[in-house]
Structure 1
Amino acid sequence: MKNFFKKIANLPALKTNRKLIIFLSDDWGSVRMRSSKHQKQLEANGLRISSRFDQFDTLESNADMEGLYEVLLKHKDCKENNPIITAVSNVANPDFKRIQQENFQNYHFESIDKTYQRYPDSNKVLELVKQGIEQNIFIPQSHGREHLQVNWWMKDLKDENSFARKAFENEFFFLGADYLNDPKRGRGIGAAFDIWDEEDILSSKEIVKSGLTIFKNLYGYNSKIFTPPAMFYNPGIESNLVENGIDWLDVGRFFKIPLVNGKQRAQFNYLGRKKKSGLKVLVRNAVFEANMSANDNGVARCMYDIEQAFQSKQPALISNHRASFVGGIDANNRDTGLKSLDVLLKSILKKWPDAEFLAGSEL
């Protein structure tokens, strides 16, 4: 039944006879779990380590980037192109030190070039990212400024007894709604562009513009794709996206638009749908996550999804997260993820010799 509805939903979507493979990998640049030591402290303070992100995800390191590039450079498609990771990236993180110095009354952020320098094992990452851009194997696109609903976080931080304040001590902010004093929606404060009132909409507009400006300054080009964290946003920011060079909006097929006062409106999307703002909609139709299960490396599921996409004459837009490839918390997680990626790429090229690797921005 799920496959039937998926095929019906694909009927109006963008079509092509080319077998295009696009990897869209989220969360690069954002801090998450600082280290295994911090993870244990957070758990002792009451954080449930239940998701694979809290279990494995951390800022990418020099070794993570070098290992990923080694796998990508091993493979070439029918046009001699290497696989390309479209790295859906945040360009800033909270400036924890300044926020604390001002007694949690004001928000400050630092751009990721400073974050990378603060983390000793990540001090070469920005240089490696730029090398990846030159080699056309790692192409950043925008995931907003921070992976954080700033207004909601700051409201809780002003309460010294809040769980947000406890987590702050370990530079952690990815809190679900059940950890907040005044829970809004179930997505928690990682959904950076979720809104509750008009103030949130105004803040979102400012943050969008700021994030895209920082992105251009870091990488030397405008992002063409915008993926809101948790794929959740209010349309009030769309004009700001267009004004700052965004062409594609990466959201879910069935999407609930957050409105003021807790209201929502349902929206159906398909690949290539053009919105009134002029933005085109990008909808992912495949998944590759090597750590969703201890007994499944994700390859078979992804190969099935790619086949379904090609049967519908669509590009295979493969959803992925950085958490599959980082080893700062658990080196085995990185090793497993990279081995699985290697197997997936071999399998793709064997089954579809005419497959082409493409960056999302080339779509």
Structure 2
Amino acid sequence: MNFTQMVRKSYVNFRGWSTDKKYLVIESDDWGSIRMPSKEVYDILLKKGVNVGKSNYTKYDCLESNQDLENIFETLSSVKDANGKSAVITANALVANPDFGKIAKADKKDYFFESLADTYLSYPNHDRVLKMWKDIGIKENLLYPQFHGREHFNVNKWMRAINADITQENIAFENRVLLGISDKNIEKNIRNRFQYMAALEYDTEADKIEVERITAEGLAMFKDTFGFASTSFVATAAVRGDHIDKVLSENGVKFHQGGQQLVPLGNGQIKKVNKYWGDKNNYGQTYWRRNATFEPSRNQDADSVDSCLAEIEIAFRFGKPAVINTHRVNFAGGISEKNRDLTLVKLKELLQRVMKKWPEVQFINSAQLGEILAREK
């Protein structure tokens, strides 16, 4: 970590609410969403000239499998905190995915989605995921779900993209891939129109109303899927307008995981807004900041453990919980078991070194962090 990075991290951790306790939270986005269906599909896209190898998301990210959850549970339960509790990942989940078959039958003119449960059943080696998540992940507080959106893409923008006769999007649709990458050969202003992975982005008032409806529906689906309402939320790609807070509040969301907010201004313009520990909005929803990063899939040769430990140390120095930012791409092995297995080795090392250096650390999920912050602020 260079001097500039250290100053920035110190500033983020200096601001707002503090505690004399040491809490560690792991917030991981994108669970439940499809991206690249399989290694076979990945190879097909490469052969057809789609540059899926340039992003770790299209290179490694895929739907979590039975084996993935078994391996994650084993790793997390192997390290205990000061209270004898296992490490836990807050898995920010999407609860729906496009129903490619129905959309194709409608000649791509109408959008249809399927539930997360149906998505799992449509993939081989995923039939036990939801049951394992409920019976082990939630009950034993190992993989605790919170709401990330209905889908991990903006429906209207994606529909425009798949109807725009863009070669790479045609290939992606045929192979049931959510591509979400740009093509340098497409004119920039056209390319920007089809960057669709930020689900809550909008350009028009109609789009704004639509994302409100989708969010409300998604929150209801989350409760139906997991058996309880999500109390915290983080938007896909951190893009959301303040208007969505009312919808979230009406459906039980009390906390915002992402204190850094990218507010849509229309026509693809974004404004960055920073909130700090304990800040509240007009609906009484409380904010905190992610202040450490663990993303081994970006570069498995990099020392992601030491860099994350350095960020955790800064957080604790300023009396802040360590909230680690990570993504499902690091833990899914459907495309690369090696990537998943290396990540889990590093995660175990990180957790063990945390407990050795700070034996008083407590492992908690994001919902628990929110309740602590609300009680003590």
Same fold at TM > 0.5: yes
1:350 alignment counterpart: 356
Could you say if the C-alpha distance between residues 91 and 43 of structure 1 is closer, same or farther in structure 2, counting changes exceeding 3 Å? same
- Supply the distance in 2 between the matched residues of 1:313 and 1:195 (Cα, whole angstroms): 37
Residue identity in the other structure for 2:253: I
Residue identity in the other structure for 1:176: I
1:168 alignment counterpart: 173
Could you say if the C-alpha distance between residues 233 and 139 of structure 1 is closer, same or farther in structure 2, counting changes exceeding 3 Å? same
From 35, 50, 62, the equivalent of 1:32 is: 35
Query: Secondary structure in 1 aligned to 2:90?
Result: strand
The alpha-carbon deviation at position 79 of structure 1 amounts to 0.6
1:273–1:281 Cα contact (<8 Å) kept: yes
The alpha-carbon deviation at position 187 of structure 1 amounts to 9.0
1:139 alignment counterpart: 144
Could you say if the C-alpha distance between residues 9 and 319 of structure 1 is closer, same or farther in structure 2, counting changes exceeding 3 Å? closer
1:77 alignment counterpart: 81
Could you say if the C-alpha distance between residues 161 and 23 of structure 1 is closer, same or farther in structure 2, counting changes exceeding 3 Å? closer
Q: Which moved more, 1:260-269 or 1:80-89?
A: 260-269
- Supply the distance in 1 between the matched residues of 2:220 and 2:143 (Cα, whole angstroms): 20
Query: Where does structure 2 lack aligned partners over 5 or more consecutive residues?
Result: 370-377
Query: Where does structure 1 lack aligned partners over 5 or more consecutive residues?
Result: none
From 102, 115, 130, the equivalent of 1:111 is: 115
Q: What do residues 306-325 of structure 1 show as CA deviations (whole Å, max 9, x unaligned)?
A: 10000010000001111111
Matched, 1:194 2:201: yes
Matched, 1:314 2:320: yes
Q: Which moved more, 1:45-54 or 1:114-123?
A: 45-54
Residue identity in the other structure for 1:114: D
Matched, 1:92 2:99: no
Q: Which moved more, 1:256-265 or 1:279-288?
A: 256-265
Q: Which moved more, 1:21-30 or 1:161-170?
A: 161-170
- Supply the distance in 1 between the matched residues of 2:183 and 2:155 (Cα, whole angstroms): 17
- Supply the distance in 2 between the matched residues of 1:293 and 1:187 (Cα, whole angstroms): 27
1:276-355 matches, within 5 Å, as 276-355=282-361
Residue identity in the other structure for 1:230: A
The alpha-carbon deviation at position 138 of structure 1 amounts to 1.1
The alpha-carbon deviation at position 189 of structure 1 amounts to 1.0
The alpha-carbon deviation at position 173 of structure 1 amounts to 1.9
The alpha-carbon deviation at position 51 of structure 1 amounts to 1.1
Query: Secondary structure in 2 aligned to 1:295?
Result: coil
From 191, 198, 214, the equivalent of 1:207 is: 214
- Supply the distance in 2 between the matched residues of 1:290 and 1:163 (Cα, whole angstroms): 27
Could you say if the C-alpha distance between residues 333 and 187 of structure 1 is closer, same or farther in structure 2, counting changes exceeding 3 Å? farther
- Supply the distance in 1 between the matched residues of 2:227 and 2:298 (Cα, whole angstroms): 35
Matched, 1:234 2:250: no
TM-score for both structures, normalised by structure 2: 0.91
TM-score for both structures, normalised by structure 1: 0.95
Matched, 1:268 2:274: yes
The alpha-carbon deviation at position 264 of structure 1 amounts to 3.3
Could you say if the C-alpha distance between residues 346 and 196 of structure 1 is closer, same or farther in structure 2, counting changes exceeding 3 Å? same
The alpha-carbon deviation at position 160 of structure 1 amounts to 4.3
Query: Secondary structure in 2 aligned to 1:58?
Result: coil
The share of aligned pairs that are identical, in percent, is 35
Could you say if the C-alpha distance between residues 185 and 241 of structure 1 is closer, same or farther in structure 2, counting changes exceeding 3 Å? farther
2:25 alignment counterpart: 22
- Supply the distance in 2 between the matched residues of 1:216 and 1:342 (Cα, whole angstroms): 31
Q: What do residues 9-56 of structure 1 show as CA deviations (whole Å, max 9, x unaligned)?
A: 433322111110000011110001111110111123332120111111
1:84–1:357 Cα contact (<8 Å) kept: yes
Matched, 1:5 2:14: no
Q: Aligned residue pairs: how many? A: 362
Could you say if the C-alpha distance between residues 111 and 195 of structure 1 is closer, same or farther in structure 2, counting changes exceeding 3 Å? same
Residue identity in the other structure for 2:222: F
The alpha-carbon deviation at position 332 of structure 1 amounts to 0.8
1:62–1:123 Cα contact (<8 Å) kept: yes
Query: Secondary structure in 1 aligned to 2:130?
Result: helix
